[in-house]
Structure 1
Amino acid sequence: MNDSEFNALADAALKQVESGLELSGADLDFEMVSDNVLEIEFADGSKIIVNRHDAAQEVWVAARSGGFHYRWDGTRWQDTRSGEELMSKLSQLVSQQTGEAVSLG
């Protein structure tokens, strides 16, 4: 995959996360703090950071429970270690940190 294809796919994933967070009604704030970094802040002050990592062509997630790297497999963003899908795992992480059920996918 070339850089422009990666950027388009990763940017679409970040926009999907933003839309899901907006629709969730969960007690959190989020903003794009740069072109490729989405910061999600929770009522308790904790954060989840989702970013596009251009050099590795991956989407990275940093949360209280750890760091996760997702690579496009041709159809979805898949965790490079566990094989979990990005939106599913991110929904779980956000739900854990808000204490509310949140679905981003």
Structure 2
Amino acid sequence: MTDQEYLDHAEAALAAIEQGCDRINDDTDADIDNQRTGGMITLTFANRSQVVVNLQPPLHEIWVAARTGGYHYKHDGQQWLDTKTGEELFAVLSREASLQAGQALRFDAPAR
């Protein structure tokens, strides 16, 4: 994957996360505050817990830090997959956000 391909996929993922927060805030009472600074998005929940999503351009990865630990994702040409477990980024983000918000939340991958 070229640097530009990585950036295109990574930026699409960050935009999908931001849009997911907007949709969740419109459709639920989860009240997720999302702040983006460059290649990093910090999701802050009502209980003040956080999930941080951060681009790692030199490695062509996206990193996620949550209460349950840290996760590293690489794009396989179709989706972002955890480098250790093979789990998909948006499935894990949905699970982590649900745990921290105390209600079922869903983040969707960007349309291809």
Shift of the alpha carbon at 1:24?
0.9
**What is the CA-CA distance between 1:27 and the residue it aligns to?**
2.0
Match of 1:68 in 2: 71
In 2, Cα distance between equivalents of 1:5 and 1:74:
9
Task: Tell whether 2:62 aligns with 1:59.
Answer: yes
Matched residues, number: 104
Unpaired segments ≥5 residues, structure 1: none
Q: How do 1:31-46 residues align onto structure 2 when only pairs under 5 Å count? A: 31-32=35-36, 34-46=37-49
Residues in 2 aligned to 1:9 and 1:35: alpha-carbon distance in whole angstroms: 15
Match of 1:28?
Answer: 32
Paired residue for 2:15? 15
Take 2:47 and 2:92, find their aligned partners in 1: how far apart are those partners? 21
Q: CA RMSD in A?
A: 0.8
Aligned to 1:94: 97
Partner of 2:59, secondary structure, is coil
Deviation at 1:43, TM superposition (A): 1.3
Q: Offset of 1:9 from its aligned partner?
A: 0.5
The share of aligned pairs that are identical, in percent, is 40
More strand by share: 1
List gaps (5 residues or longer) in structure 2: none
Which secondary structure state, in structure 2, belongs to the residue aligned with residue 74 of structure 1? coil
Aligned-residue offset at 1:49: 0.3
1:10 maps to a residue whose letter is A
SS in 1 for 2:16: helix
